[in-house]
Amino acid sequence: HAEKTKQTEKLALVGELAAGIAHEIRNPLTSIKGFIQLASQKKGKDIPPLYIETILEELDRIDQIVGEMVVLAKPAPEIKRKVHLDKILQETVNLMIPQALIHEIELTLEIEPGLPYVIGVSNQLKQVFINLIKNAIEAMEHGGTVMIKASRRSGNIVITIADTGRGMSQETLRKVGTPFFSTKDMGTGLGLVITFRLIQNHKGKVCIRSEVGVGTKFKIIFPAGDESEQ
Ligand code: ADP
Ligand code: MG
């Protein structure tokens, strides 16, 4: 039934990913191999720092891809509990402040008081917000603002993450969330795949609005927990 479908879905995703991983990991491996071959021809002479730098960068890339694969492949679903999103959002924003500061980006957080809890896994929810805020920051080259808001709407909690970044074209919008789709030089194209999965795992919905040169707004809707149990 539901479990079975989930399993099948997971297998399909794994298959889809496997093809991509082979490609995404082979590229850096090929370049690492090339630089090590070049270095080995330099018998006795100093190895140019550029070789080492490139090798380390490419290893980092593999490390990043494998790290994100681990998140995707995580087996046994973690136990769901009452999670207070105001706390999670505040913690996430605190985590992202250094990265925002470096890029001269302002992070604002506005939480409606008395927000109901959601049933979920706090680490997974944190991962969702980290991925979205990270993308928002990366969409702004010359400073800007990321506005994060959480409010209640009837039986739901609505979270919006809006940036004043470069925005997305129709084509990009269509492709986001496809494994390995990235428009960034150093992107893995796995962030939104993971994000959408985790939101789905919390019975949530996502809606994206974006305009090139103006910005992007992600709206996430989670069903609120039972308030009588608050
Ligand atoms: P990555 O960040 O590694 O590229 P993601 O899955 O997180 O992978 O995002 C996929 C693509 O979606 C990005 O490369 C970018 O083109 C687009 N994107 C995601 N979020 C935003 C945003 N806030 N503003 C503009 N483009 C975005
Ligand atoms: Mg990303």
What is the 46 CA–ligand 1 centroid distance (Å)?
A: 40
Cβ of 188 closer than 6 Å to ligand 1, yes or no, is yes
pLDDT of residue 15: 72
pLDDT of residue 9: 66
Higher pLDDT: 227 or 104? It is 104
**Which amino acid residue places its CA nearest to atom 19 of ligand 1?**
135
Contact 195, 131 (CB under 8 A): yes
**Which amino acid residue places its CA nearest to atom 21 of ligand 1?**
135
What is the 47 CA–ligand 2 centroid distance (Å)?
A: 34
Please tell me the distance from the alpha carbon of residue 222 to that of residue 128, in angstroms, as a whole number. Answer: 12
* Ligand in closest contact with the CA of 193: 1
Output Rg (C-alpha) for the chain, integer angstroms.
20
Please tell me the distance from the alpha carbon of residue 76 to that of residue 81, in angstroms, as a whole number. Answer: 15
**Rounded average pLDDT over 114-142:** 94
3-state secondary structure of 73: helix
Nearest CA among 109, 221, 81, 83 for reference residue 154: 221
Q: How confident is the model at residue 173 (pLDDT cuts 50, 70, 90)?
A: very high
Cβ of 139 closer than 6 Å to ligand 1, yes or no, is yes
What is the 121 CA–ligand 1 centroid distance (Å)?
A: 24
Would the pLDDT of 89 be above 70?
A: yes
**Rounded average pLDDT over 123-146:** 94
Most confident residue range from 15-19, 33-37, 217-221:
217-221
Q: How confident is the model at residue 191 (pLDDT cuts 50, 70, 90)?
A: very high
Report H helices in 108-206.
122-138, 170-175, 191-201
pLDDT of residue 119: 95
Which residue from 182, 207, 211 has its CB within 8 A of the most atoms of ligand 1, so it is best to mutate?
182
pLDDT of residue 4: 59
pLDDT tens, residue by residue, 12-25: 667 767 767 877 88
Contact 101, 125 (CB under 8 A): no
Which percentage of the chain shows pLDDT scores above 90? 65
pLDDT of residue 97: 94
Which percentage of the chain shows pLDDT scores above 70? 90
CA–chain centroid gap for 134, Å, is 7
Q: What's the complex ipTM?
A: 0.99
Higher pLDDT: 149 or 61? It is 149
- 107 beta partners: 146
pLDDT of residue 7: 67
pLDDT of residue 229: 53
Question: For ligand 2, a single-atom ion, which residues have Cβ within 5 Å?
Answer: 135, 191
pLDDT of residue 10: 64
Of 28-42, 46-60, 69-83, where does mean pLDDT reach its minimum? Answer: 69-83
With residue 88 as reference, give the H or E element that holds it: helix 85-102
The token pair at 134 is: 């990270």
pLDDT of residue 87: 96
